[in-house]
Amino acid sequence: MKKIVLVILILATTVFGLLINNPGSEIELVVNGESLAPEKPVKSENDILYIPAETLLENLGFQTVWDADNEILYASLGDFQIDFPIGSREITVNKNIVTLAAPAEIFNEVVYLPVRAAEEALGVFVKWDEETGVINVVTPQEFFDPDKRDDQETPLLNLAYPPKTRHIYYGHSLFVFGTTQSYSQILVTVNGDPVDIFDPRTGNFLTMVDIPRGEEFPIIVEATDLNGTTMVKRSVLYPAPWQPMPGEPLTVHDKLLVPAEDQILRLGDTLMLAVQGSPGADAGFLIGGRGNRVDMRELAYPAGPSGEGGIYTAFYKITSQVVPTSGSSGLLKINVSLQKDKKVVNRELPGRVRFISETPYKIIEVKEEHELKNRGWLYVMRPGNVQLYAATLGGTGYSTSAVSYLVEGTRYEAVGMSGSYYRVNLYGDEIFLIHKDMVRELQGMSSLEPSLKGIELVENVEKISLVLLATERFPFLVEDGNNKLTFNLYGPVMNESLVLPALPEYLTDLKLEPARGEKPGSLVVTIEFEKNITGFRGRWDENNLVIDIYKPPIVNRETPLKGKTIIIDPGHGGEDIGAIGPGLIHEKDVVLPISLHLREMLTEDGAIVIMTRTGDEFINIYDRPERIDQYNADLFISVHANAHAQDAPATEIRGLMTLFNYAHNEELAEIMLGTMAEEMGLPAFKTWKRIIAVLRHPHIPSVLVEVGYMMHPEDNWHILHPRGQKEFAGAIREGIYNYYLSFTE
């Protein structure tokens, strides 16, 4: 068999080929810091640079075999194998098909591999320094912990998760991931079992371990090769749902106490009390040191049935017996007592209670938007299970969820307080919470008595504004749907002579009617559209509520991005590292280069690009979207890499995800997900509607993209590689391009 010399073409990640301005000069090849002297020197053909592949592959530990009959070159390292068929753009990398930019060819009995083959097949990073005449080829060592001793012969092993400190984990299935050396014959095991997923190109691994509940559990990771074994030990604890207190001595826990903060309540409100103490006792409480002791019920476990678990609860309805006829009571102490076998123990709760007779308690108005930040949410309390083991807003013991971001200038009637939060009752018995720092008290006002005098429609090229003419400001909530918006107005009385305006062409229906069902005493405005909108905003102009409805943009099909102002938000930064990577590279480190590549591409398309950060700096998540109004932006896109939730089947969940806040952005999220999946060849995991702080503004198209999972080796191969980062940028650019093209159909 005639011996064929294999030469591999390796180029920089950003170009198709390396042009050689001085092909006669000597070129040095450096692989992982070692200068090589290959038998076949680096040379150029038609102004393109080539590197001898045998030298490169053997330096990385590969063995090569040339099949002359089938004209295929085989390169193998243990179970990792690459097949290079001559004349075909499709090569096989570890049993997966990879398509090259051009096929391998034979010239003068020498096999040449085309551009980017080293990156696509091996994952190496290549840098050409034309001034020094040096080609640097580097395997993905930056995925590793570089703190390897000079005399260490056993494999490198970096365990990214679980962390070094004793780890509290809430789930039976623990994911374990990290990295070891690439291109090496290494066996990685976790507690004696081989890992589920291992990528020999990067050395990244991921596996799942079942852990018991309520006991310390060791995690032992070993990386073994012919030179020996490297071991890393960690410890995790999946805590029991609650830790019962001993029966003796009789005691009440000094921290697990509700209410945890002061409460200001009115007639008809309910005060929840909860403590943990010794099980099997008779429990009760007394407010203000007077009156009759009220019994408490013992639960078998938090939020569970009655039984001897030492969790004592009571739901105390505020009646006219305790509410003064006028004014308010003082702040009254709440004392809980346990009695058992003639023994008694008392505990004063940290939260006290004040009863008020006048309602509303205060009239409040939302401050300017730039002052709101992370507390600028309207929350609803969720009565039900006792939240004794977690801090709750206002110290009430009730869980809460965010309903919407507060709108500057909106007024509410506060009916009381829970800790630092005003209590607001919009309808029925539901209580909403607003942080006191987000609003100002309006002096001299005892109530809100708004009326709706009329409705106007104002249209221009960009938007349609629905103006609700009112005598004063009032609370409202928005429900968004496909081609539809519903505004629930709380408090205003409708003028009987009110007439709805004629509809412009873009609107298909406008209704104003009394609310039904769960929301008595309010009005509902329903707006339906011919086409999906690109945004909406409710704002106050004096006492009038203005609802701006943004029409689809006018797009030039030939240059859809020209003149568009696009905000790119690279997630995290600075001390906020984001999702943990398998080595020293984390989410903040990969989304920035993706975003910078994207900026370059969009700028070339004629877009005006605004970055929320261009370096490794911390930017408050509530400051990022403020650039929307500052630059009158047309689109906001936040770039992230994903992390698995605790107890998620991490080895099975991978791929791309897009998130959106409002229904009118669902189409953007779907177009972006589909385009990225097609461009990258990665799974389209899902689109997800969620209330996300960075996407809280509804008036421009906004989407958050997750470019795969940082800890999944099949995803992070693309996420961590410089070439993959540029490809992600190109895929996102195509998604934006396709979104704007959708308006031309």
Q: List pLDDT tens digits, range 452-487.
A: 999 999 999 999 999 999 999 999 999 999 899 999
Cα separation of 551 and 460, whole Å? 10
pLDDT at 602 over 70: yes
- The reported pLDDT for the residue numbered 143 is 61
Nearest to 418 by CA among 430, 435, 403, 405: 435
To the question of pTM greater than 0.85 for the whole model, the response is yes
> Selecting from 2.30.110.10, 3.30.457.10, 3.40.50.720, 3.20.20.70, what CATH number does the domain 5-139 have?
3.30.457.10
pLDDT at 16 over 60: no
Cα separation of 84 and 74, whole Å? 6
pLDDT at 44 over 50: yes
Domain pair 252-356 / 451-550, same fold:
yes
Which segment of 128-142, 270-284, 476-490, 500-514 scores lowest on mean pLDDT? 128-142
Fold category of 252-356 in CATH: Immunoglobulin-like (2.60.40)
Q: Where are the beta strands (DSSP E) in 60-109?
A: 63-67, 72-77, 80-85, 90-93, 96-99, 105-107
- The reported pLDDT for the residue numbered 10 is 37
Q: Mean pLDDT, to the nearest integer, of 531-545?
A: 95
Fold category of 565-744 in CATH: Aminopeptidase (3.40.630)
- The reported pLDDT for the residue numbered 556 is 95
pLDDT digits (tens, 9 = 90+) for 176-191: 999 998 777 789 999 9
pLDDT at 289 over 50: yes
Domain 362-441 has CATH 1.10.3470: no
Strands 493-494 and 282-287: unpaired
CA angle 406, 484, 735 (to 5 degrees): 85
pLDDT at 561 over 80: yes
- The reported pLDDT for the residue numbered 58 is 78
Domain 157-237 has CATH 2.60.40.10: yes
Domain 451-550 has CATH 3.40.5.10: no
Q: How many CB atoms lie within 10 A of CB 487?
A: 21
- The reported pLDDT for the residue numbered 17 is 38
Q: Greater confidence, 448 or 200? A: 448
Query: Phi first, then psi: what are they for 676, rounded to 5°?
Result: -65, -40
Nearest to 335 by CA among 326, 325, 348: 348
Write down the domain spans for the chain: 5-139, 157-237, 252-356, 362-441, 451-550, 565-744
Q: Is 150 helix (H, G, I), strand (E, B) or coil?
A: coil
- The reported pLDDT for the residue numbered 535 is 95
Which segment of 120-124, 310-314, 486-490, 728-732 scores lowest on mean pLDDT? 120-124
Cα separation of 662 and 626, whole Å? 18
Q: How far is CA 624 from the centre of its chain?
A: 15
* Max mean pLDDT range (138-147, 379-388, 514-523): 379-388
- The reported pLDDT for the residue numbered 22 is 45
- The reported pLDDT for the residue numbered 377 is 97
Which segment of 5-9, 302-306, 579-583 scores lowest on mean pLDDT? 5-9
Confidence of residue 7 (pLDDT cuts 50, 70, 90): very low
Which segment of 111-125, 384-398, 553-567, 616-630 scores lowest on mean pLDDT? 111-125
Confidence of residue 18 (pLDDT cuts 50, 70, 90): very low
Name 238's Cβ contacts closer than 8 Å, sequence gap at least 6.
Answer: 168, 169, 170, 171, 172, 174, 211, 212, 213, 214, 217
H-helix or E-strand spanning residue 397 = none
Confidence of residue 507 (pLDDT cuts 50, 70, 90): very high
pLDDT digits (tens, 9 = 90+) for 347-369: 999 999 999 998 899 999 999 99
